[in-house]
Amino acid sequence: ETGVTQSPTHLIKTRGQQVTLRCSSQSGHNTVSWYQQALGQGPQFIFQYYREEENGRGNFPPRFSGLQFPNYSSELNVNALELDDSALYLCASSLKGPSSGNTIYFGEGSWLTVV
Comparison of 16 and 56: residue with beta carbon closer to other proteins: 56
Q: Show contacts with other proteins in window 56-95 (CB under 8 A).
A: 56, 58, 90, 92
- The partner residues of 45 in beta bridges, in order of sequence, read 35
Cα distances from 96 to residues 25, 58, 83, 103, 106, in angstroms, run 13, 18, 34, 9, 15
d(CA 56, CA 89): 17
**Cβ 3 to other proteins shortest distance, Å:** 12
* CA 108/CA 16 separation, integer angstroms: 26
Report if residue 4 touches other proteins, rule: CB under 8 A: yes
Dmax over Cα atoms in the chain, in whole Å?
A: 43
| Strand pairing class (110-114; 10-13) | parallel
Q: Does 41 bind other proteins (CB under 8 A)?
A: yes
Residue with smaller CB distance to other proteins, 75 or 105: 105
The correct pick among 42, 53, 71, 84 for binding other proteins (CB under 8 A) is: 42
- Chain contacts with other proteins (rule: CB under 8 A): 2, 4, 6, 31, 33, 35, 40-45, 48, 50, 55-56, 58, 90, 92, 96-97, 100-102, 104-109, 111
